[in-house]
Chains A and B, each alone.
Chain A
Amino acid sequence: MFFHIVLERNMQLHPRFFGRNLRENIVSKLMKDVEGTCSGRHGFVVAITGIENIGKGLIRDGTGFVTFPVKYQCVVFRPFKGEILEAVVTMVNKMGFFAEAGPVQIFVSNHLIPDDMEFQTGDMPNYTTSDGSVKIQKDSEVRLKIIGTRVDATEIFCIGTIKDDFLGVINDPANA
């Protein structure tokens, strides 16, 4: 799920960035520091959409660095247990398949793939129904349900399932 929220961060800046471009420097450093990171609470910071305000700087003793408290708006992405997501399959093997929804890595074990889909080896490993009508392989798009999440400092892991109604392949690159 995406959220548009306000977050805050203290930015430490070297004195060489002071001057007329101070504000831009703070913003560009903020983007570099924050975009693409994860936090357990909010999930993945996708993009900064605006700056609410930049507070008064505080000079650090001894170093000359200055700390600015910055409030910014950003779009965050965080998967939840029970959420339905659309994801792109990145790897298929006998244990199941891995998929990605943006930065989120999702594993769907073969216990959670419908029983009528069977694993086929080859240079393009895939899961196929017995009549061959549905095929999951690399780059397929699937709709899945998240049943477990774990957030690391830099990564989000999820366990997903497609063993439920209305879940499974939504777009097959082979048929496109």
Chain B
Amino acid sequence: MSLVTDSPVHSSSSDDFAAFLDTELDSKSSASSASDDEAPNQHHSDSAASSSPDQDKEAEEDDDSDFQSKRVKRSKVETLEIVEDDGGAASLASLKHNSEVSISKEICTHPGSFGTMCIVCGQLLDGESGVTFGYIHKGLRLGNDEIVRLRNTDMKNLLRHKKLYLILDLDHTLLNSTQLMHMTLDEEYLNGQTASLQDVSKGSLFMLSSMQMMTKLRPFVRTFLKEASQMFEMYIYTMGDRAYALEMAKLLDPGREYFNAKVISRDDGTQRHQKGLDVVLGQESAVLILDDTENAWMKHKDNLILMERYHFFASSCHQFGFNCKSLSEQNTDESESEGALASILKVLRKIHQIFFEELEENMDGRDVRQVLKTVRKDVLKGCKIVFSRVFPTQSQANNHHLWRMAEQLGATCSTELDPSVTHVVSKDSGTEKSHWASKHNKFLVQPGWIEAANYFWQRQPEENFSVNQIKN
């Protein structure tokens, strides 16, 4: 093969081609020789013959650059730049080139890059600095200062539209997927119920034969997205890979109204097994996160609204160690109007309202994390809880996650019984404290009562969690 087509792609080659053109255009007199130079290798079938002029040129370049570096005394990087740039062109042209480069270098801070070129001055950058934003466009990177600047301008824009950011997880939050090979016999009937992929806005069960998967959207999800899009700028952030994330985004948002270039997948994150807000162009004080896995958001727990996991398929139940029948096997589903998404939407509305209406006078100091905390504290307000046989005896009671959860929900926790106690949380109706509760007409509930309140952001009816009921 000829040298032309096979020559490795080198940054200089394009520029020297350009330089050749420049010189050719400049000097008409040398037109014949330039045209020979301009497309030198096309006419030589013999690669050896075509490579020799190149070597000559390189020698010329070296002389050139020595001369230049003495004159200009710039950094090494720039001398390199010169060598690459002028590529054997007339020295006048290269001088002009050089001055251009140095001027832009003095001004430009290189706020980001696209395909390793600076997005402002177009110069090739050597290092790979900044955070990648591959989910927006391949090859896009932004420096920290630029991210801060974008967040600030975007924040103003968003507040003007009375919106906040909402980050949504996919699996177990908005939908549930399973591999076709993991489907059980009891789920075979689902094959006949899948909706067509032609019009995904109807139906909620989809067979993605290309990925060997079946996906069930959580009930109420379409209404949820529609309503939430009025109050939030929404992102998808999933631990799945990119292809899967985009496929799911298509199912959830067939009109591409909500998640246009805002689908972040595992491949885009900056840390393994962690989700982070660093790749989200939104200020942390205005971001709410909806996810079923608390551990994925170690650094942003204050922004997180924990979701009850949606297990539709049997494989998903097994994955989390539940051995009960899955929703699909029982041929049921979550309630459309009282499911997790519906109750969370109410919470989101409330937070949005507090943020924009009640905190109007304090525009700059507003923080959605504070609002979230306040709303959470209202859930079990006025409850005084005593635990019984819930924690291991040797551990510190007030370190237990249920204890902390109850306090976050606004309840007061105590280890001693007194008349002000309203609830006794116990796994067993036979303990001393349980007897005390039934004697003094206090609520005796299972630990699940607190967890349910945490998921639904509402005090749950105590009857559903009574300890005796289970025992009998």
Contact = CB atoms under 8 A, between A and B. Distances in A.
Interface of A: 5-10, 39-42, 55, 69, 71, 78, 80-81, 91, 93-96, 98, 105, 107, 109, 111-112, 119-121, 123, 125, 146-153, 155, 157, 159
Contacts of A81: 18, 122
A7 B114 contact: no
Interface of B: 1-2, 4-5, 7-11, 13-14, 17-18, 21, 39, 42-43, 45, 111-112, 114-124, 133, 136-137, 139-140, 142, 150, 153-154, 157-158, 161, 233, 255-258, 260-261, 281
A153 B6 CA distance: 11
Of the candidates A80, A93, A105, the one having the most CB atoms from chain B within 10 angstroms of its own CB is: A93
A6 B43 contact: yes
Contacts of A112: 119-120
Contacts of B120: 109, 111-112, 159
A40 B7 contact: yes
Contacts of A6: 39, 42-43
Contact of A94 (B18, B122, B281): B281
Contacts of B157: 94, 119-121
Contact of A40 (B10, B111, B116, B260): B10
B89 to A, nearest CB: 13
A93 B122 contact: no
Given A95-B140, A121-B233, A150-B117, A159 B7 contact: no
A152 B116 CA distance: 11
Dominant secondary structure at the A interface: strand
Contacts of B261: 91, 93
Contact of A109 (B1, B112, B139, B260): B112
A9 B158 CA distance: 55
Contacts of A94: 150, 153-154, 157, 281
Nearest to B122: A148
A150 B121 CA distance: 13
A159 B140 contact: no
A153 B115 CA distance: 13
Nearest to A82: B18
B156 to A, nearest CB: 11
Given A6-B43, A9-B5, A153-B9, A148 B136 contact: no
B318 to A, nearest CB: 39
B114 A159 contact: yes
17 contacts: A6-B43, A7-B4, A8-B42, A40-B14, A42-B17, A69-B45, A71-B45, A78-B14, A91-B137, A107-B140, A109-B119, A121-B158, A123-B258, A147-B121, A148-B117, A148-B118, A149-B117
Nearest to A11: B1
B137 A159 contact: no
B472 to A, nearest CB: 55
Of the candidates B9, B42, B114, B256, the one having the most CB atoms from chain A within 10 angstroms of its own CB is: B114
Contacts of B2: 7-10, 69
B121 A95 contact: no
B1 A121 contact: no
Given A6-B42, A8-B5, A121-B161, A151 B233 contact: no
Contact of A151 (B9, B43, B119, B260): B9
B9 A152 contact: yes
B13 A80 contact: no
Of the candidates A5, A78, A119, A149, the one having the most CB atoms from chain B within 10 angstroms of its own CB is: A149
B31 to A, nearest CB: 16
Contacts of A96: 119
B7 A41 contact: yes
Contact of B13 (A41, A55, A120): A41
